[in-house]
Amino acid sequence: MTGWSIRWRLTLSNAAVLAGLFAVFCGVMLYLVHGHLQREEDAWLSEEIHELRQDVKLARDREHLQETFDTRYAIHSDVHFRVTAPDAAVIQSRFLRDTALPRPGHLDETEPPQFEDVDLPGLGQFRLLSLTARDSQDRPLLLQVASAKAEMSQDFQWYLGTVVAAVPIALLVAIAAGYGLACHALAPVEQMVATAERISAERLDERLTIRNPRDELGRLGLTLNAMFDRLHRAIDQMRRFTSDAAHELRSPIAALRTKAEVILRAPREAEVYRLAMEQTADEAARLTELVHQLLTLSRYDAGQFPPLEDRVRVDLLVADVVEQFRSRTTDWRHTLVVQPLPPWSLVGDDILLSQLFFNLLDNATKYTPPGGTICVRGREAGQELVVEVEDDGIGIPEELQGRVFDRFFRVDSSQNDDRSGVGLGLAICRAVVETHRGRIAVRSAPGKGSCFGVTLPGAPAAS
C-alpha cells in the first residue's frame, strides 16, 4: 500500500477497522443467539420432562402409563420419551422403540436434570434430557425426553445467513463512508497543495489559509507559512546580495576599463603608465578582497566552514592580530591601547577567529579619525569570554545599529573617503561568531565612537 494515495490508505484502514469491529460484533451476536436458542429448547424440554414426571406419579400401573403417553405424545410428535425401570422394563414413544438412548453414568433424585447432545444413528442430532423420579408405587424410574436439533439449527442458520449477507453490504458502506471522511479530512491538504504550487520566486507573498490553527493541519499550515516567510526573506536577501555584489564588482571593473581606455588613446610618458598601473593594482587588490569576502560568506551560507576541531588560545590569537595592526595604526596616527586578556581557550578555527578580530580592528581604524584611540580589552563572564574593540570614531546612529551586520551595509562614509570598505567585514564577523556558537553586539553613539563586543564560549586556559 506504500504506492497508494493517503486518501485510499485512510479509506481501506477505516474499512479494515470497521470490518474487524463488525466481525467481532457478529461473532458475539451469533454466540448469544445460539445460546438463546439453546436455552429456549432446554426450557421446553424441562417443561416436557416435568409433565412426564407428573404423569408417572399419577399412573396406576405401567399399562395405564403407556396409554397416557401414547395419547399425549401422539400430538407432540416432535418430542420423544423413554421411561426406564430398574428391572430394565421400558416405556417409550413409538419413535424410539428401535433406537437406544445413552444412559447417564450416575444420576440420582437429588441431582438436577442432565442435558446432553446425542447423535442417534440414522436420525441425526438430538437434545436429550434425563431425570430420575419415582412412580406412584415409590419405585425409581429414569425419565428421558429428546427433541431433534434440526429446527434450532435451521433457525441458527437463518441468523448466520443474514449476518453473512450483511457483511459485503457493511463493507461497501464502510468503504464509502471512509472515502467520504478521508476526502473531507484531506480537503485542507488539497487547498494547501494548490496554494503551495502557486507560490514561486515571483509570488512569494502568498500564504496558506489556516482554518483552525490548533489542529494538526493548522499547525502544519503555520509551519509551512513560517517556512515560506524564511524562504521569502532568504530570497530577498539573496537578491539584494546579488544586486549589491554586482554593483560593487561593477564599480572597480568600470574604473579599470576607463583607466585602460584613457591610457591607450595616446602614447604616454613612463610615469603616467606607472601611476596607471599602481591604480590598476589598487583596484585589483580591492576586487580580490571583495571576491575573498564574497567567497567566505558563500561558504558560510552553504555550511562549508571548516569543522571546529582545533584548541585555540583566544588571548594569544588576539595579541597576534593586534601586533599586525600596530604599523597601520601608526600610519593613521591612531593610539592602540591593549589591555591583557585572561587566558582562554576554545575549540574552533584559528583562521576564522583571526579574520574576526582583524575585521573588527580594520573597521575601527577606518571609522576613527587621525589622532583617535582604539582599545582592545577582554574579561571573563561566567563560562564565556567577552572581547571588546572600542574606538572614539564617528559612531553609528541608533537607528542604524541594528543593520551594521547586514551585508553591504555601510554607515555614511563621507568622513572616511576611500578608507571605507564594501560593507562585508562585519557580516563576516557575525558569521564567524555564530559558527563558534557565540554572540556579537555593538554599542555606539554618533560622535563618541563604537564598541563591538564578541562573546565566545570556552574555558579558562593555563597561563
For the segment 403-458, what is each residue's pLDDT rounded down to a tens digit? 898 887 877 655 444 455 677 889 889 999 999 999 999 999 998 999 999 999 99
Strand order in the sheet with 459-460: 310-313, 344-348, 459-460
326 lies in the same domain as 397: yes
More confident residue, 138 or 342: 342
Q: pLDDT value at position 412?
A: 62
Count how many domains the chain has: 3
Tell whether 180 is covered by a domain: no
Q: pLDDT value at position 319?
A: 92
Asked if 73 and 93 touch (Cβ cutoff 8 Å), the reply is: yes
Tell whether 199 is covered by a domain: no
42 lies in the same domain as 86: yes
Q: What would the pLDDT profile of 159-206 be if each residue is shown by its tens digit? A: 999 988 888 888 888 888 888 888 887 788 888 888 878 877 667 777
247 lies in the same domain as 326: no
For the domain that residue 356 is a member of, what is the CATH number?
Answer: 3.30.565.10
Average pLDDT over residues 390-410: 88
For the domain that residue 252 is a member of, what is the CATH number?
Answer: 1.10.287.130
For the domain that residue 54 is a member of, what is the CATH number?
Answer: 3.30.450
Tell whether 66 is covered by a domain: yes
Q: pLDDT value at position 88?
A: 67
Q: Is the pLDDT confidence value at 74 over 60?
A: no
Tell whether 410 is covered by a domain: yes
Q: pLDDT value at position 192?
A: 80
End residue of a domain, out of 251, 284, 301? 301
Q: What would the pLDDT profile of 226-260 be if each residue is shown by its tens digit? A: 888 888 877 777 777 777 677 667 767 777 777 77
Q: What would the pLDDT profile of 119-169 be if each residue is shown by its tens digit? A: 888 788 888 888 888 877 777 888 888 888 888 888 889 999 998 888 888
Q: Is the pLDDT confidence value at 90 over 80?
A: no
